[in-house]
Amino acid sequence: MTTLGWGASWRIARRDLHAGFRGLRLLFVCLFLGVMTLAAIGSLTSAITGEISARGQMILGGDVEIAMTQRVMDARDQQAIARLGRMSETVRLRAMVHKGGGRAAPPLLTELKGVDDAYPLYGTLALQHGRYAPLAADHILISPALAERMAIGVGDVLRYGTADFTVAAIIADEPDRVGEGFTLGPVAIVSMDGLDRTGLIQPGSLYRAKYRLRLPAGADAQALRERLEKRYVEQGWEFKDRERAAPGINRFIENMGQFLSLIGLAALVIAGIGVSNGVASYLAIKRGALATFKVLGATSADIQRIYLLQIGVVAGLAILAGLVAGALSPPLLVWAAGDMLPVAPGFHLYPLPLATSAAYGLLIALIFTLPPLARARTEPVAAILRTLVDGRRRIDRRTLALVGGAIALL
C-alpha cells in the first residue's frame, strides 16, 4: 500500500478544509483567547519593567543613591562622596500641614521633602505654570492633590512646624516620584533651608536622608555601588544604583505578572477542553470522509497527516492572531489603567513573552488534539461507521508518549 507524501496530503487537506473553518471554529476561538491573554500579560509586564530599567537614572534621581534613616551624612563623608561626581541631598519626612494666615482648617498629613540647589540631577521637576528654579527659604511647591484637598493655590500660605511658606507653584511631575516608594499623603517640596526653618528635624524625628550621585559619562554605577558598600559596611547605609532603581516595584510587577500568567495558563488549559471537543466534533463531521479515505486505501499515517495539517493550520492561525492581539494590547491596558501604573511605557514588541505564549498555545493544542486524532487514525472503517452506537476510546502508546512529553514541557 502506497503512502501519501506530505505534498499530496497537504493538497487533500487544503481542498477539504472549509474556508470559514467550519467545525474548527471552537478550536480557533479557544486558542486565540488563551494565547492573547498570555501574550498581553507577558508583554505588559515586560513593558513596565523595561520602562523602569530604561528610566533608572530618572527614577532613582541619580546613578547611585545612598540612603539613611533618622540621621544625615556628616561633613567629612559628604566631601568624600562628592568627589565621585555631582551630589544632591534630599530629606523626606511625614509632617502635618496647616493653613497659614489665621485661616481655620483641619491639618493634613503630607510628605514634606527638602531639596538642595542641585536637585534634580536627572529629569525635570515640572510645574503647572512656569519653570522650576531653586526655592527661596520661605517658598513651597505643592502637589495637585494637596492643593485640591486643602482648597489652596499659588500665593496661599501653609505652615509646617514653626515656619510659614508661600505656595510658589503646583507640581506637574516629580521626576523621582516612583523611586521614593509608598507615600501616606500628598507631596510638598521646600528647600533645605526651608526645612531647617520648620524645626521638624530634631533628635528622634522620623525622616529619611538620601544622597544621589551623577557620575561622569561612562562610569560604572554598579561597580561604584559595590565599592561603596564595602567601604562603608559599618555605617548601616542603604545603597542603590540605576540598574535597580526601584527594586520593590520591580518585584511587585514581576510577581504580579507571574501570578496573572499562571491564571492565564490555567484559563488556556481549561480552554484546551474546548479545543479537544472542537477537534472531536470536527472529526465526527468528517466521519464519512475518514471512512472513504480508508476504503480507498489511505493508511493511518495518511489520515494523521491530512487532519493534522488541517488542525495545525487553524491552530497556527489562532496562535498567530492571539500573539498579534496580545502584542497590541499593552498600550490599551496602559491607557485604561491611567495613573494606576508606576510608569506609562510606550509600544514595543517583546519577543520572549510572545515566544513563551506561542509555545504554551502549541503545547495545549498538541495535548488536546492528539487523542481524538489518534482515535480517528487507529479506528477501522467499520468502527468509524458504528461510532454513534459503539464508540471506541482506545489511544495508542505513541500518542500517549507524545501527549505525556507535551505535558512535561508545559
Paired with 88 in beta bridges are: 212
**Residue 19 confidence (pLDDT) above 60:** no
Share above pLDDT 70 across residues of the chain, in percent, rounded to a whole number: 79
C-beta of residue 356 within 8 angstroms of C-beta of residue 38: yes
DSSP string, 294-322: HHTT--HHHHHHHHHHHHHHHHHHHHHHH
Number of residues assigned to the chain: 410
The DSSP code for 136 is P
Sign of CA dihedral 136, 137, 139, 145: positive
Amino acid at site 318? A
- Per residue in 271-322, pLDDT (tens digit) is 788 777 777 777 666 666 666 666 666 666 667 677 778 788 888 889 999 9
- The whole-number pLDDT of residue 1 equals 45
Q: Can the peptide bond before residue 120 be classed as cis, meaning omega within 30 degrees of 0? A: yes
Are the C-beta atoms of 368 and 272 separated by less than 8 Å? yes
**pLDDT at residue 389, as a whole number:** 45
Residues 6+ apart with CB under 8 A from 66: 73, 81, 210, 211, 212, 213, 228, 237, 238, 239
Say which residues have a Cβ less than 8 Å from residue 255's Cβ, sequence separation at least 6: none
d(CA 365, CA 30): 10
Residue 410 is given by DSSP the state -
Q: Tens of pLDDT along 44-93?
A: 888 887 777 667 778 788 889 999 998 999 989 999 999 999 999 999 99
Question: What pTM, to 2 d.p., does this model score?
Answer: 0.63
Tell me the one-letter amino acid at 162.
T
* Alpha carbons 15 and 5: distance in angstroms, whole number: 16
- 206 burial level (CB within 10 Å; 0-12, 13-18, 19+): exposed
Distance of alpha carbon 366 from alpha carbon 161, whole angstroms: 69
Residue tagged 497527516 (cell numbers): 305
d(CA 25, CA 277): 11
DSSP code for 339: G
**Which of the pair, 149 or 338, is modelled with greater confidence?**
149
Q: Distance between CA atoms of 207 and 14, rounded to whole angstroms?
A: 72
Taking residue 262's Cβ as centre, other Cβ atoms within 10 Å add up to: 11
Confidence of residue 325 (pLDDT cuts 50, 70, 90): very high
Lowest mean pLDDT among 47-56, 170-179, 329-338, 390-399: 390-399
d(Cα 180, Cα 185) in Å, to the nearest integer? Answer: 13
Rounded CA-CA distance 107/113 in Å is 17
Task: Please state the domain extents for the chain.
Answer: 6-55+249-409, 58-244
Separation CA 268–CA 271 (nearest Å): 5
Q: Return the exposure string of 21-47: e unless at least 16 CB atoms fall within 10 Å of the residue's CB, then b.
A: bebbbbbbbbbbbbbbbbbbbbbbbbb
Residues in CB range of 342: below 8 A, 6 or more apart = 48, 52, 178, 246, 249, 253
